[in-house]
Each structure stands twice: as structure tokens, then as C-alpha cells.
Structure 1
Amino acid sequence: MRFRWLTVLCTMMLVLIISACGAAGQDEATSEGQKTGSANTSTTETSQVKKVTTKMGEIEIPVEPQRVVGLSLVYPEFLYALDIVPVAVQNYHEDHPSYLEEPFANTMKMGIARTPNFEAVMETMPDLIIAPDWWSEKDYDQLSLIAPTVLLPQRDDWRDELRDIAKILDKEEQAEKVIEDLVAKEKVAADKLNEMIGEETVLYIRVMEKEIVLHGENLDRGNFVHKRLGMNPLPNFPKDQVAMSVSMEVLPEYDADHLIVQLDDDKNPEIKKKFEEMLATSLWKNLKAVKNDHVYMVGGKEWLNLGMSPLADEYVIDDIVAVFEEKNK
């Protein structure tokens, strides 16, 4: 019994000694941390953070963020147009579009789930998260626990979205340069295309898994082809339609001189099969553009954000000009 009490007494004394040493060490560390922390806080407040007013109120963000997450499919492209490589993005296709493959080689892909993978976002240790409010307002509380989160308003024009992001990042002049450069590129491309096909008509077709979609000039994609690149639409395409889903039997009613054809996902076997079946029909073979070898295969994942991002638009301009030059030398 005496031995047991002696053991207990020694154990208690050992615990007290360890606790005392730990407390002393903690006090010393706290003192050092307060000194360091006060210096860092002063530096941060004076030169490393700034206050911005957002839909969710006034928040502090880094003046020069180094690890940015851009949610939605287009925000990562806006960020890269402003020379910022995001650390994580949402993606529709398994691979990045070719124009982002190299710069985004080390960028985490999180898929396009409506609710982001919070653990994945946290893993990238962001210092800023930027997202459109219509997409991420429901997730704001969770996101803002990970990093300062800026929600931006929905816009009808991607140029305004780019300007909103640029304002947050103090890159307004760069955003305007991106817009101006794209306008200049469009004009050069439009002049080249006009020299090649003049007043001949063009129809833009997307072959999807369950439908064939014809794009008119009132939607982003058709607007890009017909208004920004100046290629003439079919006169009988309904003026009030932005796009039409048609059957193969109806397609000959829209018999353009030139067909721009995009497989919505060029790696999808069902879409490939659907297009091969179209090619085998007499209806397809008798189209004016098919007879004259004026069918231009374009797109894939690179065309996903056409009309919604300057980078996608730049790629599409080069793509269209290249395929038309190949057949209209």
C-alpha cells in the first residue's frame, strides 16, 4: 500500500512539473507571438490588405492576392486574362481548354457541382475567393470561413464581369486593354472572312447528344459569328429566335452556303455516332455547303465559353479564320 501511494505521489509531482514548464513556455511563446503579431498586423493593415464594399458588406482582402479561387466556369478565364493563375477552378470538361492547359497545369480542377467542394477549396489555401452571387451566395458563409470571399453581380455582358473583377484587383486599365485588343482582333478577322466569302450565307450548327441546334444572331454564339465577325445569316432564320432545335428532316430548310459545325463534346461517343449518322443521310449530302466542301468542323471544349470570355473568343476567332482559309484559298 505504501509503495502504491509513493507511486501516485511521484506521478502527480511529475505532472505538475510538466504543466509548469508548459505554461512557462506558452507564456514566453505568447509574448513573442504578441510582439511578432503586432508588427505583422501593422504591416498588413498599412500595405497588404484593403477594404472593399461587396453585396455582403465591407470586407478586407489582400492588396496583391497570391492564391485566388475563381468559381463558375468563366471567372477563371477572367482571372487569367488579368494575369492571375487561379489555384482552383470549376470545370465542365475533364481537361482544360487547350489555351489554358499550360498555365493551368498545376491548378486544381473541382468539377462543376453547384455546391463547390469546400475541402478541395480549403486544401489550396486561398487568400481570396471570387464568385458570382447567383452561383455562390448560398455558399458564402462556408466560403468566407476559408478565405475572404467577394461575390459579384450577374451581368448580361462578360465585359462588365471582367470589369467587376478588375476593379476588385486594381486592374481596370488591363481589363480595358483586353477588351480593346479583342475588338481589334475581331475587326481583322471580319475583314479576312469578308474577303473570302463576301455576302454568302453562314449557318452555325451544334450537334448535341439529343438534338441538333441552329444558332441565330440573337444569342452569344450566333451573335459572335454573325455580328462580331460579320458573316451573313440565312434570311429565313426566324428573327425572334436565339437558337432552334431541329430534326435532320428540317435542316434542308436552312440551306446555307457555309456550315460551321461544332460537336458539343468531341470525345462523347454518342455525339460522334449521331454525327456519323447525319453524314450518311441523303439530306446531309444534298446540302449546298456539303456539295461545295464548305463545311467547317470546329470547337469542342475550347468553344464552351464562346461569347462569355475574352480568351474563348480569341481562340474561336483563330479557329474560324484558320478553317475558312484552308478551304477558301
Structure 2
Amino acid sequence: MDRMTQRQKAAIKTGALALILAFGTALAGCGSNADTPNAAAGEDSSAATAVGESGTSATSADSANETSAETRVVKGEFGDVTIPAHPKRPAGIYLEDYMVALGVTPVVQWYHPSWGIQDYLKLDVPQFDISGSPEALLAQQPDLIMVDGGVDQAGYETYSKIAPTYRLPESVLQDSKQILLAVADALGIPEKGQEVLDKYEQIVADDKAKLEETVGGETVAVLRLNGGDKTLALFGIKNRYTGSLYSELGLTPHPLVGEMEDYQQIISEEGLADLDADHIFIFPASGDWDSEENKEAEQIMDRAVWKSLKAVQNDHVYVVERSYWQSGGIQANMLKFEDVMKHLAP
């Protein structure tokens, strides 16, 4: 038995190395959640193979039956996939926010060199560069990988070689509350998902009532400073990051925001002159405000057109933290709501 175990370990090590070499560059093609850091492979047989290569498959008929009893099938965007009923080492690429809200620590946290990391989650786990090799993810031996719309089918196929991969259905991705419940269900803790959602909805209801008293129908807009091309992007009501300010908190979007079909649009100088919102929230796309790139882009705010805006003249422009304002997760939403309350309902 000891000799067989050594052979198995050697086979596992060899298989893992082969996987890294074969898919070392594949993840660079995965989506980066464009409006999102701003989405039919993976069948049961390949998922089972991936588990076997990671060394976690059953080695006897009895163990196989036990493992089968502790798995279930979920329907993802790219088909059904067999996942652990109660995963012990889950990864949630772009979904760590929801996992943290549910009290679950992921085995890695996604990272992108040009964007950074979601610092607000304060996770102390290895980082996984989604633009490079899957080695960092493979090394953590996840037993479940969950991904959202930032991962296309090619990326999904790559992840599925590492562990059973659940790509959330497209139908839930525009609603953070549905995403929360889907993630909780995949983790085998649906009751915890409902508990977190109930608390979230109570916070939303309380905040909305206060905002009706303090700002009423005063208009709101959200801008992002794009340091690289020195532009401003106006976020629309359908934006996955900030749409909740209007749909949940009940804030009144400026007409330019409310009429926008796109998630976001670069706003011209002429368009900026028409942005007579009562309140403007603004943050940089990446880096800190004092970075060289952002300092140059910030010169937009020295122009006469910017200084003529109603919100600027009334000192109603609020600089906020970029990482959670560029996330649509439950934790991020609650932090955005705290910012809104601090500035609009102190």
C-alpha cells in the first residue's frame, strides 16, 4: 500500500505540472469583468477527471459511493456540473465579496496587474493573477471554483481542468441579491444566504427612508476618472457597480444617467457642461489619486467647464474609494451605501 501511495503522489505531481504547462497562458484570455474590473464544456465527466488528477478522488468502491453521496449537480451557464455538496476549499473568482459576506474565506483572491485588488475585503489569502498562469490557483487545490460573467467559455474550460467549476447563470448576474443566493447555494449554506440578504434589505430600507427626507428628488451622478486616457466616464443606471444607488436606495439619477442605455459612457466636454447634477460621486479607475497618471488626468477638474458645474460650486462633489465603488458585491454595496449616507444624510 505504501508503494502504491508513492506512485499516486508522483502521478498527481506529474499531472499537476502538465496542467500548468498546458494551460499556463489560457487564463489570459478570460474576461476581466469589463464593466465588470468594468461573463459547453465542464461536463460531469471532465469535472470528475479534474478531481481525480488533484488527488482527491476515491480510491475504492466504498469511497466512491461516499463521494457520490456528497456531491450534487447544479445548472450553470455552460451546462450542468457536479460539485461538492459542502465544499471545503472553494475559490470564487470575482465572487470573493459574496463569500466574505457569507463568512466563507476563499482559498485565493483574484488580482489583475492593471487594476489591483479589492482591498476592502481585507483578505489574507494568496493572490491569483487572473491575467497569467493558473499555477497559483492550482497550488491551492480548490475543490470548487465559482466564476461570474467575467469568465467566458474558454476560461471556464480552463478552470474546469483544475476543479469542478460553476459559472453562475447569466440570468442572475445583474442582481447582487440573486448572486448572493446563488453563491450561498453553491457553498451548501442557502440559509446563511437568506440571513445575510435579510440584513442587507433592512439596511437598504432604513437608508432609503432617511435619504427621502434629506435629499428627496435631488439628482445624483457617478463619474470615474480614467487616468490612462485622461477622460471621465459617466455611469448609467444599469451599471452593475452603482446602479443599486438608484434601484435600491431610491436616489434620483440625473437625466443623462437615467436615459443611458449603456453601462457607462465617456462624457465629452460638451456633455459635461450638461451634467448639472446636485451631487456627484467620483473615483479613479485605478491607482491612488496622487499617482502620476491620475494627477495628469485630474487636470480635467481645472477646466472652466468643470468648475461651472452646480455640484462643484455647491461643494457637493464627493471623492470615494475606487475598489468597492467598482464592485457590485454585497459587501461593496454596503460600503457604498455608507459613503452615500455620510455625504447625503449625515
Same fold (TM over 0.5): yes
Secondary structure in 2 matching 1:259: strand
Mapped to 1, the partners of 2:203 and 2:179 lie a distance apart of 20
What residue identity is the alignment partner of 1:204?
V
- From 177, 188, 197, give the equivalent of 1:159: 177
Mapped to 2, the partners of 1:182 and 1:292 lie a distance apart of 32
What residue identity is the alignment partner of 1:295?
V
Mapped to 2, the partners of 1:234 and 1:28 lie a distance apart of 66
168-177 or 133-142: which moved more? Answer: 133-142
Mapped to 2, the partners of 1:124 and 1:289 lie a distance apart of 48
Whether the 8 Å CA contact 2:81–2:166 is kept in 1: the answer is: no
Residues 321, 269 of structure 1: alpha-carbon distance in 2 compared, 3 angstrom cutoff:
farther
- From 256, 261, 267, give the equivalent of 2:282: 261
Mapped to 2, the partners of 1:29 and 1:226 lie a distance apart of 59
The runs of 5 or more residues in structure 2 that have no matched partner are 8-57
1:302 match = 324
1:87 match = 107
Q: Is 1:270 the counterpart of 2:293 in the alignment? A: yes
- From 174, 187, 192, give the equivalent of 2:192: 174
1:324 match = 344
1:126 match = 142
Q: Going by fraction, where is helix more abundant, 1 or 2?
A: 1
Whether the 8 Å CA contact 2:86–2:188 is kept in 1: the answer is: no
* Fraction of identical pairs, as percent: 25
Whether the 8 Å CA contact 2:87–2:188 is kept in 1: the answer is: no
- 1:221-260 deviation line (CA, Å, top 9, x unaligned): 4532223222222346562534332223431212122222
- 1:248-302 deviation line (CA, Å, top 9, x unaligned): 3431212122222222224253233212x12322222222222221111113112
Mapped to 1, the partners of 2:61 and 2:273 lie a distance apart of 74
1:52 match = 73
Secondary structure in 1 matching 2:223: strand
The Cα shift of 1:162 comes to: 2.7
Whether the 8 Å CA contact 2:254–2:277 is kept in 1: the answer is: yes
- 1:35-70 deviation line (CA, Å, top 9, x unaligned): x965972794487x22324455553x4333221122
Structure 2 counterparts to residues 226-265 of structure 1, below 5 A: 226-235=246-255, 239-242=259-262, 243-265=264-286
- 1:181-210 deviation line (CA, Å, top 9, x unaligned): 222212222222333223322222222122
- From 165, 189, 214, give the equivalent of 1:149: 165
- From 290, 293, 302, give the equivalent of 1:280: 302
Residues 172, 117 of structure 1: alpha-carbon distance in 2 compared, 3 angstrom cutoff:
same
The runs of 5 or more residues in structure 1 that have no matched partner are 1-23, 31-35
Whether the 8 Å CA contact 1:52–1:168 is kept in 2: the answer is: no
Residues 205, 152 of structure 1: alpha-carbon distance in 2 compared, 3 angstrom cutoff:
closer
1:13 match = none
Residues 97, 148 of structure 1: alpha-carbon distance in 2 compared, 3 angstrom cutoff:
same
Whether the 8 Å CA contact 1:154–1:161 is kept in 2: the answer is: no
Mapped to 2, the partners of 1:65 and 1:245 lie a distance apart of 42
What residue identity is the alignment partner of 2:151?
W
Residues 244, 196 of structure 1: alpha-carbon distance in 2 compared, 3 angstrom cutoff:
same
Q: Is 1:293 the counterpart of 2:309 in the alignment? A: no
Q: Is 1:212 the counterpart of 2:232 in the alignment? A: yes
1:11 match = none
Mapped to 2, the partners of 1:53 and 1:198 lie a distance apart of 43
The Cα shift of 1:313 comes to: 0.5
Residues 63, 296 of structure 1: alpha-carbon distance in 2 compared, 3 angstrom cutoff:
same
The two structures have a TM-score, normalised by structure 1, of: 0.74
Mapped to 2, the partners of 1:291 and 1:29 lie a distance apart of 72
| Number of positions where the alignment pairs a residue of Structure 1 with one of Structure 2 | 285
- From 219, 230, 242, give the equivalent of 1:201: 219
Larger Rg: 1
Mapped to 1, the partners of 2:100 and 2:139 lie a distance apart of 21
Mapped to 2, the partners of 1:128 and 1:88 lie a distance apart of 12
What residue identity is the alignment partner of 1:175?
G
The Cα shift of 1:87 comes to: 0.6
The two structures have a TM-score, normalised by structure 2, of: 0.70
Query: Over aligned residues, Cα RMSD in angstroms?
Result: 3.2
Mapped to 2, the partners of 1:234 and 1:140 lie a distance apart of 38
Select the structure with the greater relative contact order (CA < 8 A; seq sep ≥ 6): 2
